[in-house]
Each structure stands twice: as structure tokens, then as C-alpha cells.
Structure 1
Amino acid sequence: MIELHFRKKLGALDFAVDVSLPSRGVTALFGRSGAGKSSLINAVAGILAPDHGRIAVDQRVFFDSQARVNLPIEKRGIGYVFQDARLFPHLDVAANLRYGLRRARGPVRTDWDSVIGVLGLSHLLTRRPHLLSGGEKQRVALGRALLSQPSLLLMDEPLASLDAPRKAEVLPYIERLAGEFGLPVLYVSHSIEEVTRLADHLVIVAEGRTVASGELADVMARPEHSTLIGRHEAGSVLECTVAQHNDDYALTTLHFADGQLRVPRVDLDPGSAVRVRIQTRDVTLALSRPMDVSIMNKLPGRVVGITPEDGPYAEVVVDLGSSTLRSLVTRESCDRLGLQPGTPVWALVKSVALDGRGISKRQSAAKAASPLRAVAD
């Protein structure tokens, strides 16, 4: 368990953190710029000292104001990947990576060959940083952090400085981290697309305070968080399994707890676990099952909540049974359809809305729970 319970006065901001997080998988710290996300992980790293409170990882105390404990940065056993790679320009990739090995203080968790293999660095080892792309630099920075044998990895918006192609290059490597190395990750981002692709647990930070914390799907399902996430970025997350492919139409059928979805072809084998993000703006509601429409994904459910917003919109939460979908509709449509809690509806989702940006492969629970076998370099 990662315990973060502390206070810090930062200028006009009264910074307050009060969360307990799982010491496994990826926990995303999400919020707008200036919300306090970087300050939070800097306190975990030891860069920023709280005024009072307690920080502990798996009962190892990093900071405790009452006990007068404040471990220095180098004794916390933390890997840190910044927004910029911060590689040593006079060293080649191999030497930058070996610097991580020299900083190792704790038990051996990751070995050289595995890190090189997982991050695809073997062909880069003799290059200097100025010959690397932005995505390659971040992969090297990530490898260096992993080779320092951390018990916790902090990532402060590591993709923020990259363009879209470079982000697409690096994201699959980050996705593999927790599963391949059994290492807990605190991942800072203001991109909800990154968060829903990578995270298992979600913490929303606003004005220096942790305003929500929980499993990703649970936090995303709460309409009261829409203003913090962004009206047009808010949505639902479904854990699915690849069922079959239709090569004639280049479509894939995904199964989830309450039915199935037809989506553009996903290049994964049947049985693969995937996560699907469905934005509120991509869900349409009907009182009866439409027949003569092009939309293939038609899911029966029941309205469980309606939240009117400023302006013309309202957000409707639909219970599918084991999961929920959220739909952004006009308040006029709510009145015209007579929507209220308990109303049976059909939720309609266009297949074209579920492209590759909203679908990501998931590590199996068994794999994610067991760290990679460590081999000394």
C-alpha cells in the first residue's frame, strides 16, 4: 500500500493529499495544468518536503513529521522519469543505462537484458543522445530508471513533449511496465486518453487536493467528475475480451460482462484482454431498439442518473447490469423522451467511434501480479 497523507503550503495553494493507493499496477494522477500533480510526486520522491503528515510505501516510511523521519532522495529507492529525458549528452546509450545500474541500492528486480529487450534498445546502445528521436530518448530514460532497481517508479508527464507519432511509439512500452516488471507506477498526466489507456487506478487532483481516488472504471463512471475530466473527454471504460474477427469487413467482436461490441479490427488474438474507452458524446439513447439504422452496437439498459449541466446538455448514466455507460444529450432530448431514473433505454454506440485510440491491450492479471525473474547483470 502507498500511503500519502500530508499537507504543504505552496504560495497561495494549500496543498492537501489524503489517499491510500495500491502498490501494484499503474496509478494515474490526473488533473489540469497547475493542479498540483508534479508537486505530489515530488513529495514522494523527496524533492519537496511536506509541512506535516506521512508518506510510506509498503510500510517503509519515507516521511513522518511526528516521528521526524525524512529519508533523503537517494535512500528512497525511487525511479523518476521526467518530461524531458535528461540524458547525459557526452555518454552513449549504454553508458547512460549503466549509470542507472551504478545508482542501484535495493534488491535486484530488473536485469540488463530484460530491460533492453522490453524497451527495444539493443540497436541504440552505441548512439549518443543527440542522434536519438524524442521517443527513443524517453525509452532510454525509462530504462535507466528501471536499472536503478526502484521499488516505485514515478513518471511526470513523460509524453508531454512528444508529437503524436512519438507518443504512439512510446505508449506500448509504458503499457508493459507493470506487467513485465511487477513495479508500481505513479503516472502524472493531463491527457485522459493516456490515463484510460495506461492506468489501473485513478486519482484526480484539483487545486492541490486529491478530490477522487479509486479503480479507473469506477472513477470514470461518476458524472460528478465530468467537469474535472472535461465534458467532451469524459466517458466510460469497459474491460473486454477479443472474441472473433470478421476479415470480410475488417471488424472485431469484443465481449464484455453485459454484451458485445463490434469495432474496427483489432490486431490481437482471440482471448486477448482489451480496455475500451467510450466517450459520452459517442453514446446515443433510444426508448426502443432501432432496427433500420447503421449503428451495430445496441445495448439494453436502464437510466440510473441524470445530471443537467449549464447550457443545453445533460449527462445520462445508463446501467447495463455489471457496468455503466454515460451519454451526453441535450436537456430537450431528455424531456422529449421522458427520461428519468428507472427508464428502460437502448444505448447506441457507433463502431467508427471505437477506433484504435480508444482501445488498448491489457496485461493479464496473473502476469501483472508477478515480477519478472531477476538476473544479475
Structure 2
Amino acid sequence: MAINTLNAIETSLTLPAFLAEKIQRANYSLTELMHKVLTRYERAEAVFAVSLESMDTFNKFAAPKATLMNMPFLALLPTLPNPRDWETFVDDVMYSQTVEQLASQMPAVDGMISRDLFHFNCYYVTLLKDVLQMNILAPPLLGITFELAEYLATKPVRQLEAAIGRIKFPLFRWRFDDNLFWKEYSTGWPSNESVAHHLMRTSQISASALPYKDSWSNLRLERAERDGLARLFMSQGCRASTAVDFFNLNRTTARAVYKQIHGVSSPVGCRTKSLTWYVQTAVNRVQATFVVWLYRCALRNDANIPKALIATNDIAAKLFGDDLVITADRANHLASAMAMDSRLSVAPCRSCKTDYVLANEQGKIELAKDFVCPGCSYSLKSRLASKQKKAKS
């Protein structure tokens, strides 16, 4: 039986179970409040970025709703993505047109709804602060920019809560605000890959604008830190041989650690070499892009390469579960390949502008000007829906 070292070691690299649960509960609580407010004040849809009809559709389908609500990402975005807008009511330093616009769009509500808005605004901000302090991938998990993350990290909760009392509009809104999402949601079961696509599409962090190169040799780590990271790496399924090369470990010791963690010997054989595999299918491309996006976010948040990979592997495993195809070894290969040469690149979809991994080598050359992502080409079908279709045929 494998030893769950990810939860045993206190670290900001992996998302603790209790924090993932807090995100999930926030998804349910905040969307329920949105539905409650929209039921009484439909004009609030301009602020929440979702209509009452859409929220009714959302609540109608229990299974896809559970898929979205139980992911380790917030299903909401801040109504004020720019920290300068927050300074208007937190620091009283400048005028913000966005704040004025939200205040004018929000209808006058009764005392009970006003109290709920204050309570859930505080709840939302507290969650942001908690995740920011405990995970290096907090910005993509929360759907906020690095600039806003840095601003909120400098403000004490008491100051933020006092400032929240001076506003009358919600600080959060619905995240998935395009027609394609609602078509997929109402006609079938959204797959993990389609959820990943919409997460990247609605994120305010572009993969192409993030750092992707770092020192892949001579990692200056203390022995205790090196051994701890290597153990985490192997606990995520990375081969002992990969950990040996990555962390300069003793081969016999590494194999013993792998067997202690998983109860079986480390796999042997040829390592991953193909780059076109990452774009061979829609599922491979989406998951590869998702891993690249998270990995670069971690680097942007000052993580070194092993820490960025460990944090990325953890979130990818939590989102895709048993359907994960980008294993720890493949994630390591993908990140190193994209840092060292240009046979794989990142370019935006010509339709939705979401950054995706594209191939640029002899076996497969993809031009950015012609590229349409799997999300826009309707290539992401639910595995459950596919199984049901096969069963009927």
C-alpha cells in the first residue's frame, strides 16, 4: 500500500485536502448566493456576469454541477481584477471608474440580502488570503492575477473586512460566461478536459507571457531539501531513475525509497522521448497545455523547477484524477523540452485566444495562424458520454 507522503509533509507545494474542501464549499456557497440574489433582483446579472436563466440551468443538472463545484479551482472570478480598483475603497487613495460602474449596476437590495453580500464578500476575501498563503499556485486556482495576489498578500484581513463594509456590490462573479460553456453544460457531461479548457480561457494569466526557462542543472539545494523534494517527486509516480538524474541521488537509495512509497519496484525501460505525442489527441493537447500553464505560473511565483513540477503534478492529478495522461515523468520531459528548444511552442487559438501547446518539428508542424483549439473545435467529449454512446451502438 502506498504511503501518502503528500499529505504527511507540510508544504506549500501541494494543496492540502482541507484547503481543497474550502474551495469546493466556497463554489457551492457563493453560487447559491448568486442564485438567491438573481431570483429577487434580476438586474444583478450585470454584476454577477450570469443570468437567472443560466443559473437555473446550472442547478438543473446535478452531475455536471458536481464536476465544476468539486474541482480544486474557484468557479468565480473577482469583479475587481485590478489592484488599483481595490485601492479605491481599501486605501482611499484614488477614484476608480470600475468601482463606480459596479456600484451603479448593482440594484438596491433589502437588508437581508445586503447582510448576506457583506458576509460572503468577507468569506470570499478570507478564502483568497488563505489560499495565497498556503499554495504557490494560488493565482490560477483563484482566477486572479499575480498583481492582485501580491496586493492582497500585503493587506491584513481586518483592513479588508473594514473596507468591504463600505461597498454594496459583490467582489465575485461567475467565471464561465461564454455560450460554448452553456451549450456543453446543458447538452452533455462536461469532461475534465473541457473544464480545463474553460479554466485556461477565463484565466487572466496567459501562458505565453509567463517565464518558462530556469536552470536545469546545478540546482543548489541543501541535502535535506533535495531528499524531501525527491521523495515528493517519486510519491507522485516519477520513476526512481528520473529522480536520480534530477536530484543527483544514489540509484540504490532512490529505488529503495520508491519501493517504500509505492510498495513495488520503480518501472524500468525507455523514457519518454516523443514530443508530437503531446499534441497527438485533443486530450493529450489539453492536458499538456494545462500542465505547461500551471508549471509556468509556479515559476512566475518564484518556485524553482522541482517545486514547480511537484505543485503542477499535484493540481493536475486532483483535476483529472484517473484520466490523467501527463504523468510526473511526462510533465518533467515536457517542461524540460520546452525550456531547451522550440519543437514545442505556445500560441493562441485563433478563435478564443487561449494559449495552447503546438508542435513545430519534422513529424508535425502546426501554424499558429491556422490553429483552432480542441475547445473551439468541439473535440472534447465526455468519457462517460462516449461510453454511453458505445453501449447504445
- TM beyond 0.5: no
Whichever structure has more helix as a proportion of its residues is: 2
TM range (shorter): under 0.3
TM-score calculated relative to the size of structure 1: 0.23
TM-score calculated relative to the size of structure 2: 0.22
Whichever structure has more strand as a proportion of its residues is: 1
